[in-house]
């Protein structure tokens, strides 16, 4: 593991009121000026630059005016769930009389608006289907809807295929000729913008006055936008940071829906001190557990709940599912590492990408396992699970891919599919994560083809695991005040990461906590009289310092630790680099 210090942009100047450490950190982030740190809703991009937004608004206005039936078809992850709930809430507040939803069971119907989902939708007799966080690759499903006389509005953020579905409107920043500049917006952000544009149009035609409706405050939906955006691990450009920041502010002051409050409660998180990482590591996984193990309807109903008495039991169900997911994940992770260890591959002989499959694995959890393996071996990974089928046809595998910086995994799958017609049944996704299906008898061939594609694109340097550090921390900055300032300087997340520092410390104490966690007391080498608590979560025992170790080199974050009402500074150890 190599330490790589982040590049510094000395040309950005900041106000003196900004903490000098934060000035250093910001100069090492992907911003071009201090103005990009100015958040607030007034700085949001306009909905007007979305392609097809006018057509989308026209479809929805017609549904409202004609009292047509609207059906939301959701994806089965947290982004899809929050998108679904936001669409339903807003449309009902706009006066829609018939709004319902379907969330596909990933094990029965797969991803997106498939013809099978359309068959299910027809039973609800919709006039309009709205896809949220899916649909851009659903040409067959849209054709089936068209044949059934159902209009389709696609709202999505995934990369568009060459052939777009024949929908009545498509709102997706990643389709050709869309000028909306935040290409990394999440699905929940896209549907939020659709509702912003619809509200503006309804206001212009005096809809709310004529219908004697109170004009909705869409800022009240930003708790959903923040949760879906963080859970989907999209890049936090300025526009996404604004959306997340505003959502976090509302949750902190208690202006959030009962479902999110209940999820925070079962996760034992203090909503008044909520950070983006709390949403990403505590709330998001509990919501996602429903879609991974069963179907996302439990998560959607939790977020739709209008009272704590309704939301809390659903949050407890989600928490239980998440515990089950953790157990399944642990077993699969251990099986995957055992398999890779049996190969006895040295780091220099590892293929540029890893594809692994075990017939025992759970479809809903392979993505997490792929992520764990990617973190350990620092290369693109696809983990596959078998799809149960009642017919006697070919055995189908579903894979979930996770990538590293510099390797656009969705484009790589496209390249493999182009060079090997018929190998991949279907695929889709982003730069860093994707999904695909193929027949089991194609697995070995695909395994080699994908590794070759990665080898042709990735250099040895890109395959070398690195810790990106913001540098050494001055001893005077090891304070609770500094940690609090960092907490309040976000929101931090993908491509706008929370500061990580590196340094050597005296190792005063160490002990095991739980099954895989390491609790330590450290002191900076330069200031041995100062003792600081530190914790490393999920550390493999072979990486722990030896019993006789007196010094340790770590990469860490400054953290605010709250325990039994006492708030203290704690180092959150990201990597143990060396110990002596």
What is the phi/psi pair of residue 250, to 5°? Answer: -70, -40
Both 471 and 417 in one domain: the answer is no
- What is the C-alpha to C-alpha distance for residues 489 and 486, in angstroms, rounded to an integer? 5
Q: What is the pLDDT of residue 566?
A: 87
In a domain, 518, yes or no: yes
Q: Where residue 476 sits, what CATH number does that domain have?
A: 2.40.50.460
Both 208 and 81 in one domain: the answer is yes
Both 248 and 348 in one domain: the answer is no
What is the phi/psi pair of residue 218, to 5°? Answer: -70, -15
**CB-based contact 90:218 (threshold 8 Å):** yes
Q: What is the pLDDT of residue 542?
A: 78
Both 89 and 168 in one domain: the answer is yes
Span between the terminal Cα atoms of the chain, in Å: 16
Last residue of a domain, one of 423, 457, 491: 457
Both 411 and 431 in one domain: the answer is yes
Last residue of a domain, one of 317, 332, 359: 317
Q: Where residue 382 sits, what CATH number does that domain have?
A: 3.10.310.30
Q: Where residue 244 sits, what CATH number does that domain have?
A: 3.90.1640.30
Both 261 and 288 in one domain: the answer is yes
Query: What 3-state DSSP class applies to 235?
Result: coil
Both 312 and 372 in one domain: the answer is no
Domain interval for residue 362: 343-457
Both 477 and 452 in one domain: the answer is no
In a domain, 229, yes or no: yes
Both 56 and 148 in one domain: the answer is yes
**CB-based contact 86:225 (threshold 8 Å):** yes
In a domain, 304, yes or no: yes
Both 396 and 523 in one domain: the answer is no
Last residue of a domain, one of 422, 457, 492: 457
- What is the C-alpha to C-alpha distance for residues 149 and 138, in angstroms, rounded to an integer? 17
Sequential pLDDT tens for the chain (580 residues): 789 999 999 999 999 999 999 999 999 998 999 999 999 999 999 999 999 999 999 999 999 999 999 999 999 899 999 999 999 999 999 999 999 999 987 777 777 899 999 999 999 999 999 999 999 999 999 999 999 999 999 999 999 998 999 999 999 999 999 999 999 999 999 999 999 999 999 999 999 999 999 999 999 999 999 999 999 999 999 999 999 999 999 999 999 999 999 999 999 999 999 999 999 999 999 999 999 988 899 999 999 999 999 999 999 999 999 999 999 999 999 999 998 888 766 666 789 999 999 999 999 999 999 999 999 899 999 999 998 776 677 899 999 999 998 999 999 999 999 999 999 998 988 888 899 999 999 999 999 999 999 999 999 889 988 899 999 999 999 999 999 999 999 899 999 999 999 999 999 999 998 878 999 999 999 999 999 999 999 887 778 898 899 999 999 999 998 887 788 999 999 999 988 8
As a dihedral over the C-alpha atoms of residue 142, residue 143, residue 147, residue 151, rounded to 10 degrees, the angle is 30
Number of domains within the chain: 3
**CB-based contact 447:355 (threshold 8 Å):** yes
Q: What is the pLDDT of residue 516?
A: 83
Beta bridge partners of 579: 552
Residue 285, both tokens: 């996984």
In a domain, 333, yes or no: no
In a domain, 205, yes or no: yes
186 closest CA partner among 232, 222, 155: 232
Both 80 and 134 in one domain: the answer is yes
Question: Among positive and negative, which fits the CA dihedral 75, 289, 560, 371?
Answer: negative
Both 250 and 351 in one domain: the answer is no
- What is the C-alpha to C-alpha distance for residues 28 and 270, in angstroms, rounded to an integer? 30
CB atoms within 10 A of CB 180: 22
In a domain, 33, yes or no: no
Query: What 3-state DSSP class applies to 58?
Result: helix
In a domain, 16, yes or no: no
In a domain, 23, yes or no: no
Query: What 3-state DSSP class applies to 252?
Result: helix
């Amino acid at each position: 593991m190599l330490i790589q210090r982040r590049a510094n942009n000395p040309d950005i100047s900041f106000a003196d009121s900004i903490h000098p450490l934060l000035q250093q950190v910001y100069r090492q982030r992907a911003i071009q000026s201090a103005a990009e740190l100015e958040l607030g809703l007034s700085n949001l991009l306009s909905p007007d630059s979305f392609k097809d937004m006018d057509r989308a608004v026209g479809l929805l206005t017609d549904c409202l005016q004609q009292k047509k039936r609207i059906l939301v078809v959701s994806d089965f992850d947290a982004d899809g769930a929050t998108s679904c709930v936001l669409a339903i809430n807003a449309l009902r507040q706009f006066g829609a009389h018939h709004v319902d939803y379907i969330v596909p069971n990933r094990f029965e119907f797969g991803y997106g608006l498939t013809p099978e989902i359309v068959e299910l939708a027809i039973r609800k007799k919709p006039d309009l289907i709205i896809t949220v966080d899916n649909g851009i690759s659903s040409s067959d499903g849209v054709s089936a809807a068209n044949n059934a006389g159902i209009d389709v509005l696609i709202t999505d953020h995934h990369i568009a295929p060459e052939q777009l579905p024949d929908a009545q409107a498509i709102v997706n920043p990643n389709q050709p000729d869309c000028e909306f500049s935040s290409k990394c917006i999440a699905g929940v952000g896209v549907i939020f913008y659709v509702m912003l544009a619809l509200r503006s149009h309804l206001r212009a035609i005096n809809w709310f006055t004529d219908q004697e409706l109170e004009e909705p405050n869409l800022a009240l939906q930003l708790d959903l936008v923040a949760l879906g955006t963080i859970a989907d691990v999209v890049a936090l450009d300025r526009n996404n940071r604004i959306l997340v920041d505003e959502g976090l502010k509302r949750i902190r002051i208690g202006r959030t829906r009962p479902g999110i409050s209940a999820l925070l409660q079962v996760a034992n998180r203090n909503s008044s001190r909520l950070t983006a990482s709390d949403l990403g590591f505590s709330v998001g996984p509990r919501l996602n557990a429903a879609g991974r193990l069963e179907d996302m309807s439990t998560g959607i109903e939790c977020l739709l709940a209008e009272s704590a008495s309704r939301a809390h039991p659903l949050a407890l169900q989600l928490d239980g599912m998440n515990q089950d997911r953790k157990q399944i994940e642990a077993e699969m992770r251990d099986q995957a590492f055992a398999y890779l260890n049996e190969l006895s591959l040295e780091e220099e002989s590892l293929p540029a990408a890893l594809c692994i499959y075990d017939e025992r694995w759970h479809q809903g959890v392979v993505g997490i396992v792929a992520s764990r393996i990617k973190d350990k071996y620092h290369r693109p990974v696809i983990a596959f699970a078998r799809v149960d089928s009642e017919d006697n046809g070919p055995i189908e595998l579903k894979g979930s891919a996770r990538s590293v910086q510099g390797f656009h995994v969705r484009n790589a799958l496209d390249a493999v599919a182009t060079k090997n017609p018929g190998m991949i049944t279907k695929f889709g996704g982003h730069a860093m994560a994707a999904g695909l299906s193929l027949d089991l008898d194609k697995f070995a061939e695909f395994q080699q083809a994908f590794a070759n594609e990665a080898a042709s694109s990735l250099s040895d340097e890109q395959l070398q695991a690195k810790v990106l550090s913001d540098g050494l921390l001055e001893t005077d900055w090891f304070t609770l005040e500094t940690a609090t300032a960092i907490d309040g300087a976000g929101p931090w997340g993908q491509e706008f990461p929370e500061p990580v520092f590196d340094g050597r410390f005296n190792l005063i104490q160490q002990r095991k906590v739980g099954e895989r966690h390491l609790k330590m007391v450290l002191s900076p080498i330069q200031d041995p009289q100062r003792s600081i608590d530190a914790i490393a979560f999920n550390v493999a025992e072979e990486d722990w310092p030896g019993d006789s170790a007196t010094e340790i080199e770590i990469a860490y974050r400054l953290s605010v630790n709250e325990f039994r009402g006492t708030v203290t500074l704690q180092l959150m150890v990201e990597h143990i680099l060396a110990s002596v």
